[in-house]
């Protein structure tokens, strides 16, 4: 049997539609933001620029043991998480007592998801499903939720003309949940929505709930659905007015509105949404205390499982020694674990989470070697070694690259060996190719940077959707989640998720990266290509994110194979983590602030009570 991994090739249609085209050119005299000396700069050749590079800012450079080579430094702060602290983590929610409590609460919640209720009171059933999903416990009730949604679809949504007399809230919430579960509900159920919305009385709570649910539903649109686009634009203005004027007394609704306007539900990582919603849910007037009790208990039990994952990867990272031997690069093990938990939090997928944590942690270092530390000649050597995938003749590499290559080589081979012994799949040829693609794409960016070349936006995105690393991560975890699953939709899911992560990353990190010396990102490429101002370019990139989500929505609905569920969720959730991390338009992964650190603490260390 042949197992074919999806090839991560951008679809034939273009994302980029600039106002006018310009041929690619080389820039010999550019602004300081785009220019720099050669990547491998000899002390004797930098002349008057030497003092500038020895600053204390983000572009500071350091002299290596080879006294002739001056290397850049991104000045990333060290990790605040010590090995001893991570190994000391304990979780109190283990043992027969909590297992019994959990099983009892699961059965109690299961009885709430009633098939009779789905027919007799479909709105209440939809609201219950929504709460269960947002509280992060829907994975316990996947079959029950599937059954009641199918019943509601056949009774109320299959013939959408029957919905014309239904209230806005029922239509909007049902649309969102059913589309999320793969039902292609037509946007035409909202074709009279403009009249309804314009007649909403802001003091009626039911109307506000309907508007908010339609706002959230509109993000599940696919391309060409103008009704949903217009509804989102109009409702956004209405919700902002409600928030600014504080015109409703319902504190729970005000929290939901503020939360949605900051980042829509579809774009939020599921575990961080669960953490937030557990607190917000306490403000809900008809809050179900039993459901909340179960959600908090389940979160605490899962947190113990995730802590075990973190302790395991902490031992691996300490043994790898990159944090000590490659100290110029980012040590972000805990942050990588945070991404892995949000990619897939369910108990059976510990190997998957541990693998994602390892992959992200190594990619951070390799990315810093290509972007910041390595000379052009060294990077060419390293890329060739990855292509050969051979530890022989490793003495040809600089010392730091020997450590990096052997660490990568041993870790990936071990992961492939475990896949071979447990799943009887020989995956090393496929994962090796993904690493070659990743390193070659980074090499392209290094050469662009060294020559001062500014690519077109389309050229940049084609390459940078590989260097953002999501394709190489997904290639390495593909065989943990899917067996012999291929198809255009899966390839597109990878590409679109990578695009979302890339564009979100650029919005958050491009300023800092340009300050320390890096290639222009999507914003600057668009500015250079079209003559747009920075704010115009950022607005265009945000439109690209929305357009990409529409394409991703379509592909997600078209993939129905159950074996592909975890893979698609991992891909989508990693894109969501990009939007969550860089939503403040700062590099919170490279330089975590108090807020980002608090997110890690809430997810991995502090139990709910």
- pLDDT digits over 168-178, tens only? 899 999 999 99
**What pLDDT score does 510 carry?**
57
Q: Is residue 472 part of a domain?
A: yes
Residues of the chain with pLDDT under 70: 1-68, 164, 194-206, 482-486, 510-518, 585
Number of domains in the chain: 3
Q: Are residues 57 and 122 in the same domain?
A: no
Q: Are residues 173 and 246 in the same domain?
A: yes
Phi, psi of 69 (to 5 degrees): -105, 125
**What pLDDT score does 159 carry?**
76
Q: Using CA atoms, how far apart are residues 155 and 141, in angstroms rounded to an integer? A: 21
41-42, strands of its sheet edge to edge: 41-42, 69-72, 61-63
Closest alpha carbon to 184 in 565, 564, 569, 558: 558
DSSP labels, 227-287: HHHHHHHHHHHHHHHHHHHT----HHHHHHHHHHHHS-GGGS-HHHHHHHHHHHHTT-TT-
Which domain range does residue 596 map to? Answer: 454-609
Q: Are residues 596 and 533 in the same domain?
A: yes
Q: Is residue 341 part of a domain?
A: no
Q: Is residue 120 part of a domain?
A: yes
Q: Are residues 55 and 173 in the same domain?
A: no
**Torsional class of 91: left (φ above 0), alpha (ψ -120 to 50), beta (otherwise):** beta
Q: Are residues 68 and 122 in the same domain?
A: no
Q: Using CA atoms, how far apart are residues 56 and 39, in angstroms rounded to an integer? A: 19
pTM: 0.87
518: domain CATH number? 1.10.600.10
Q: Is residue 516 part of a domain?
A: yes
**What pLDDT score does 57 carry?**
38
Q: Using CA atoms, how far apart are residues 177 and 133, in angstroms rounded to an integer? A: 10
Which residues on neighbouring strands pair with residue 71, listed in sequence order?
62
Q: Are residues 155 and 274 in the same domain?
A: yes
The pLDDT tens digits for 125-154 are 999 999 999 999 999 999 999 999 999 999
Q: Are residues 141 and 268 in the same domain?
A: yes
Q: Is residue 501 part of a domain?
A: yes
Q: Are residues 67 and 139 in the same domain?
A: no
CB 137 within 8 A of CB 272: no
Q: Is residue 45 part of a domain?
A: yes
**What pLDDT score does 30 carry?**
33
Name the one residue in this structure whose structure tokens are 């490793």: 394
CB 325 within 8 A of CB 305: no
């Amino acid at each position: 049997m042949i197992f074919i991994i999806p090839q991560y090739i951008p679809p034939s249609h273009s994302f980029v539609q600039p106002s006018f085209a310009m041929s690619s050119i080389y820039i010999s005299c550019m602004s300081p933001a785009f220019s720099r000396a050669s990547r491998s700069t000899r002390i004797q050749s930098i002349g008057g620029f030497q003092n500038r590079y020895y600053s204390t800012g983000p572009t500071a450079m350091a002299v290596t043991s080879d006294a002739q080579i001056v290397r850049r430094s991104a000045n990333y702060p060290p990790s605040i998480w010590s090995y001893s602290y991570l190994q000391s983590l304990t979780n109190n929610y283990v043992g027969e007592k909590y297992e019994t409590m959990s099983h009892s609460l699961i059965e109690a919640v299961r009885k709430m998801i009633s098939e009779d209720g789905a027919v007799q009171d479909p709105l209440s059933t939809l609201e219950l499903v929504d709460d269960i999903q947002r509280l992060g416990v829907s994975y316990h009730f996947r079959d029950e939720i599937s059954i009641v949604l199918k019943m509601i679809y056949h009774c109320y949504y299959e013939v959408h003309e029957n919905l014309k007399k239904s209230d806005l809230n029922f239509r909007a919430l049902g649309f969102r949940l059913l589309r999320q579960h793969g039902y292609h509900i037509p946007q035409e159920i909202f074709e009279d929505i403009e009249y309804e919305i314009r007649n909403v009385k802001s003091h009626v709570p039911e109307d506000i709930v309907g508007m908010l649910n339609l706002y959230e539903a509109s993000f599940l649109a696919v391309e060409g659905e103008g009704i949903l686009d217009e509804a989102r634009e109009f409702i956004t203005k209405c919700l902002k007015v409600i928030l600014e004027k504080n015109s409703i007394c319902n504190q729970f609704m005000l929290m939901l509105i503020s939360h949605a306007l900051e980042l829509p539900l579809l774009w939020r990582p599921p575990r961080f949404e669960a953490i937030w919603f557990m607190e917000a849910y306490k403000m809900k007037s008809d809050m179900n205390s039993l459901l909340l009790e179960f959600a908090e208990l389940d979160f605490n039990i899962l947190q113990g499982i995730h802590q075990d994952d973190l302790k395991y990867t902490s031992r691996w990272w300490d043994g790898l020694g990159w944090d000590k031997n490659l100290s110029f690069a980012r040590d972000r093990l805990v942050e990588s674990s945070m991404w892995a938990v949000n990619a897939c939090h369910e108990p059976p997928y510990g190997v998957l989470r541990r693998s994602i944590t390892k992959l992200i942690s190594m990619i951070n270092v390799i990315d810093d070697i290509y972007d910041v530390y390595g000379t052009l000649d060294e990077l060419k050597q390293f890329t060739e070694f990855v292509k050969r995938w051979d530890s022989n003749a490793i003495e040809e590499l600089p010392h730091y690259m020997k450590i990096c290559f052997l660490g990568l080589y041993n870790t990936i081979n071990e992961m492939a060996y475990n896949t071979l012994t447990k799943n009887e799949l020989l995956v090393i040829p496929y994962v090796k190719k993904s690493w070659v693609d990743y390193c070659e794409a980074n090499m392209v960016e290094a050469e662009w940077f060294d020559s001062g070349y500014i690519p077109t936006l389309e050229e940049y995105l084609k390459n940078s959707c590989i260097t953002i690393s999501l394709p190489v991560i997904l290639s390495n975890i593909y065989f943990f989640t899917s067996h012999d699953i291929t198809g255009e939709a899966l390839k597109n899911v990878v590409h679109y998720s990578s695009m979302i992560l890339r564009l979100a990353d650029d919005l958050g990190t491009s300023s800092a990266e340009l300050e320390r010396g890096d290639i222009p990102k999507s914003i600057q490429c668009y500015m250079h290509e079209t003559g747009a101002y920075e704010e115009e370019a950022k607005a265009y990139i945000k439109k690209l994110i929305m357009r990409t989500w529409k394409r991703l929505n379509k592909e997600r609905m078209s993939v129905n194979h159950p074996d592909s569920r975890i893979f698609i969720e991992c891909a989508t959730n990693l894109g969501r983590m990009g939007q969550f991390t860089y939503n403040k338009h700062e590099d919170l992964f490279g330089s975590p602030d108090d807020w980002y650190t608090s997110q890690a603490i809430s997810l991995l260390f502090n139990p709910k009570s």
